[in-house]
Amino acid sequence: MLKYILKRLGLAILILLGASLILYFLVRLMPVDFVTAQIAAMNQGNQIPQETVDAMYKMYGLGDNSFMGILSGYGNWLWSLCRLDLGTSFLYREKVLDVIADHMTVSFVIAFIAIIFEYLIAIPLGVTAATHQYSIRDYVVTVIVMLGISLPSFFFGRVLQSVFAQQLNWFPNNGILTPGVTMSGFDFLVDYLWHIFLPLLVMVFLSIGGTMRYMRTNMLEVLNSDYIRTARAKGLSEKKVIYKHAFRNTMIPIVTMLAGVLPTLFSGAMITEQVFDLPGIGNIALRAMMSADIPFIMGYNMFLAMLGVIGVLLTDLMYALVDPRVKLY
């Protein structure tokens, strides 16, 4: 086990190096940059000296666009990355790591609750749809799946805002807390949950569709296996056949999906957070990308790459727990 983990950690380092190289060159090849936007904002009809423009590019490490200059810039950025120095955000005027840490909690709380409800709802519905194939239950689940897969998050979010926030006034239209009111304890928790209910509803409803379909397909495949027919022939109850023999093998593909859970917990939901104006890391990252905030874009994407690699490693380790046939060497 230890040998396998060390081998995977070495592979993870190579993957992150490749990701950093691709990310750096892609960002350097962007058609617009923050310096250009800053010059346009500073101009206001006045001519800015070329020396000032050159100084700004040099200050942000973007002055030398030759191959060796870009390669040198990548080396400097990679060394700073190894020291957990992601640079200073152009837009927010703070350390990128501090911006991520300050806004990551909101995204984590919402994503964590949404994922819990997603699996609590999707897995039982997927199982019951598979065990009652072509029944009313199966057709209802299929409709929910199609809606969850087809509805755009911005459209569904706007519909919920219009109905429940603006017309019925049951929930706030946006934000994370009631402005101008200081609360603590239970009142703070209630107000927090009241504000995040609609974003949670959007995220849960739009995510359960794919999980339910995945669960239903896997369960149908397992129920048609020879060992399931053998278990039934031995006289085992249908409940024991489904939940003791079939369900555990159905969970093996579900574990694969968990590889993407870790980045999801911390990356934020850009569109949903934008619709409901939540101060999550997704909304913050979207604004930075629209402003060509190069340090934040690079730091944020490397942060997601690290989470993705860790998620894949944890998934591989979980295989051994779910399936005793899997041996890690």
Cα angle 96, 97, 102 (rounded to 5 degrees) comes to 100
The number of distinct structural domains making up the chain is 1
| Residue 84: both structure tokens together | 């957990």
The residue written with tokens 């994503």 in the block is 111
For residue 281, tell me if it sits in a domain: yes
In this predicted structure, what is the pLDDT of residue 36? 67
The residue written with tokens 């979010």 in the block is 157
- Domain span at residue 271 reads 100-293
For residue 305, tell me if it sits in a domain: no
In this predicted structure, what is the pLDDT of residue 266? 73
Q: Indicate which CATH number applies to the domain containing 217.
A: 1.10.3720.10
For residue 252, tell me if it sits in a domain: yes
For residue 37, tell me if it sits in a domain: no
For residue 115, tell me if it sits in a domain: yes
User: Closest by alpha carbon to 253, among 187, 324, 322, 161?
Assistant: 322
For residue 321, tell me if it sits in a domain: no
Q: Where are the beta strands (DSSP E) in the chain?
A: none
Mind listing the pLDDT tens digit for each residue in 107-164?
888 888 888 888 888 888 888 888 888 888 888 888 888 887 888 888 888 888 888 8
Q: Which amino acid is residue 97, in one-letter code?
A: L
The residue written with tokens 């934020």 in the block is 268
pTM of the model: 0.77
Q: Sign of the CA dihedral 116, 118, 121, 127?
A: negative
As a residue count, the chain comes to: 329
DSSP 184: -
For residue 107, tell me if it sits in a domain: yes
Mind listing the pLDDT tens digit for each residue in 229-239?
887 888 877 77
Gap between the Cα atoms of 256 and 141, Å rounded: 22
In this predicted structure, what is the pLDDT of residue 227? 79
Mean pLDDT lowest among 13-17, 200-204, 279-283, 287-291: 287-291
Contact indicator for 305, 35 with CB cutoff of 8 Å: no
For residue 316, tell me if it sits in a domain: no
- Model confidence band, residue 48 (pLDDT cutoffs 50, 70, 90): low
